[in-house]
Structure 1
Amino acid sequence: MSGPATDDIVVDHLTKQYKKLRAVDDLSFAVRSGRVTGFLGPNGAGKTTTLRMLLGLVTPTAGTATIGGRKYVDLPDPIRRVGAVLEASSAHRGRTGRNHLRMICKAAGLPETRADEVLELTGLTPAAKRKFKGYSLGMKQRLGIAAAMLGDPRVLVLDEPANGLDPEGIRWMRDLLKALAAEGRTVLVSSHLLGEMQLLADDVVIVAAGKLIRQGPVDEVLGSMGTSQVRVRTPQAAELGDALSKLGATVSPQPDGALLVGGVEAAAIGHAAFTASVELHELTPERGDLEQVFLQLTAGMAGIR
């Protein structure tokens, strides 16, 4: 098994120009092994183009995208190194899921038994003998992941893998990808489901108009935008609001009677309440919201390309 550093993805000053359209513009970021990295951006941000360049399907105008220091086309036995899903799996309509996977195994020199192993991994064993034409979109997504896992790769690259999955399927995907990352694999996931990405990802890379907007651990990105808030309950909401306004805090009453306070830490709220002789029933810091951060960072940049 290769060491963790050899499984990192590095995008270095990557650019793709299509005549008058610059789909990716001098983009640089790294995806570390043992972590799930969310790749986020509005429609037209250049995410899919970036992934296609990483996988050798599109030639960059400039820059490089490497896996373990090598371009995808230079990887020996790539099916054992990288698994990818760029769209829902496609297969012959009259072929069963199991036979579809067995054909890939045969072409790649993998044992046919691996097909049954990945069917079990992706929860498709009950549908193994069903023909592809009877698969739902969610089942096709699972089949695509099963195909990506045939070579037991150290690196996974997934573009919108939750499309077509119901809530149970989305939770299954989250648990699977977290487990794979915990084994030391490198997992890069593009998705529009920001709430799910906040639960799934360790790190995020946010792009817009082909350029890098922000990258880093999820908690750091959320913290850098000042999105943390504190939930407060008090029978003296008006008095507390007056005290907090003097500190420059924002106070938003909630339908359940609580207050969401931004701009100050919980300790400062507690001190202000004590000074104003206000009784507190709850003082709970709340984690920021990735959707809120995303919209702030990419405001006005969707659909402009």
Structure 2
Amino acid sequence: MSAPGTDEIVVEHLTKQYKKLRAVDDLSFKVRSGRVTGFLGPNGAGKTTTLRMLLGLVTPTAGTATFGSRKYTDLSDPVREVGAVLEASSAHRGRTGRNHLRMICRAAGLPDTRSDEVLEMVGLTPAANRKFKGYSLGMRQRLGIAAAMLGDPKVLILDEPANGLDPEGIRWMRDLLKALASQGRTVLVSSHLLGEMQLLADDVVIVAAGKLIRQGPVDEVLGDLSGGVQVRVRTPQAEELTAALSELNATVTPGADGSLVVHGVEAAAIGHAAFTARVELHELSTERGDLEQVFLQLTAGKAGIR
């Protein structure tokens, strides 16, 4: 097996014990570059503890959390390799957003001009000279991402980055993270917004009570656990269409709204069968599984209070 890339996140048999509480329990997963990975779990699942161990802020009881084969504390230039936001940005209340970033630049050996570049990236240029005490929670989230991107890192780790953002801000966040992943970066995002994660993530890692429950590409996880892709059909000739689809071994279930829900046959085949049987169609749409339903199914009875 080839060695993992330096920008690939690798968690292997990670465990964290706090006296009688096991916050993370023999957890293993990988986060690939060029993709957005959603890190999901109920409250108390161990997500934040895992991220803190990955960033060297908490010492594991056992196992490793690395970037490729290197711990965060072993990175030669972490600012340029890993960017992270574990909570809304904090700064001196009387300091402007621009000056806050410039302070970080100087500490990291980066040019002051980089602060203006990341302010533009996160849409804070108009507020660059406003004092931090006047920033909303959403603006603080943007400033935190700006700080994480100062070193132009290959890896970005975000814990609940959409907190405080309005719908427009959430869409902006989604577009930004997708764009960063498309550049080949590794993006790991922890979030409770399951509907948003279904739109954003390429892969998911689902944990509960400190243990891995499921991981894989979003479409694969949804397909395996929601009965696969389904097609919704509306027609005034439901009986005729159902009879035609039975010859294709399709499963047809009446929907509560008067539609038909079809499994086992793709939309194109349904359309052809309707055409052949001279059945009028008013709707023919393919529907993916729902990440929230899958999440609740996987984590039922496994949530913990930490």
Determine the structure 1 residue equivalent to 2:186. Answer: 186
SS at match of 1:90: coil
Q: Residues of 2 paired with 1:4 and 1:99: CA distance?
A: 38
What is the identity, as a one-letter code, of the residue corresponding to 2:251?
A
How many angstroms apart in 1 are the aligned matches of 2:76 and 2:9? 16
Task: Give 1:4-43 correspondences, 5 Å limit.
Answer: 5-43=5-43
Q: Which moved more, 1:223-232 or 1:75-84?
A: 223-232
Structure 1 residue 68, shift from structure 2 partner: 2.4
Q: What are the Cα deviations for residues 149-183 of structure 1, in whole angstroms up to 9, with x where unaligned?
A: 11111100000001111111111111111111111
Alpha-carbon distance, 1:224 to partner = 1.0
Instruction: Figure out how many residues of one structure are paired with residues of the other and give that number.
Output: 301
Question: 1:250 Cα deviation (Å)?
Answer: 5.8
Distance in 2 of aligned mates of 1:26 and 1:95? 43
How big is the shift at 1:205? 0.6
Contact in 1 for aligned 2:250/2:265 (Cα 8 Å) = no
1:194–1:270 Cα change, 3 Å: same
**Aligned CA-pair RMSD:** 2.5
Note if contact 1:236-1:278 (Cα within 8 Å) is conserved in structure 2. yes
Structure 2's unaligned 5+ residue stretches are none
Aligned to 2:63: 63
In 2, the alpha carbon distance for the partners of 1:103 and 1:285 equals 51
Between the aligned partners of 1:211 and 1:273, the Cα distance in structure 2 is 47
Post-superposition Cα deviations, 1:202-260, rounded to whole Å, max 9, x if no partner, equal 111111111111111111111111242211111023565688799683624254x4333
Q: In structure 1, list runs of 5 or more residues that go unmatched.
A: none
Please tell me whether the aligned partners of residues 208 and 304 of structure 2 are also in contact (alpha carbons under 8 angstroms). Answer: no
* 3-state SS of paired residue (2:6): helix
Aligned-partner Cα distance in 2 for 1:245–1:99: 68
Contact 1:48 1:159 in 2 (8 A): yes
> Contact conserved, 1:15 with 1:23, CA < 8 A, in 2?
yes
Looking at structure 2, the residues matched to 252 and 73 of structure 1 have their Cα atoms a distance apart, in angstroms, of 57
Which deviates the most, 24-33 or 295-304? 295-304
- 1:91-106 paired onto structure 2 within 5 Å: 91-106=91-106
Asked whether the equivalents of residues 79 and 108 of structure 1 are also in contact (C-alpha less than 8 Å), the reply is yes
Answer yes or no: is the 8 Å Cα contact 1:254–1:260 preserved in 2. Answer: no
Residue 148 (structure 1) aligns with:
148
Contact 2:155 2:187 in 1 (8 A): yes
Match of 2:51 in 1: 51
**Residues in 2 aligned to 1:245 and 1:134: alpha-carbon distance in whole angstroms:** 63
Give a deviation string over 1:35-82, Cα, whole Å, max 9, x none.
111111111111000000000000001000001210000001111110
TM-score (norm 2): 0.90
How far, CA to CA, are the matches of 2:234 and 2:192 in structure 1? 34
Change (3 A) 1:83 1:284: same
Identity over aligned residues, as a percent? 84
Of the three residues 230, 250, 253, the one matched with 1:251 is 253
Q: Is the 8 A contact 2:4 2:69 kept in 1?
A: no
Please tell me whether the aligned partners of residues 8 and 33 of structure 1 are also in contact (alpha carbons under 8 angstroms): yes
Q: 1:50 and 1:250 mapped to 2: Cα distance?
A: 43
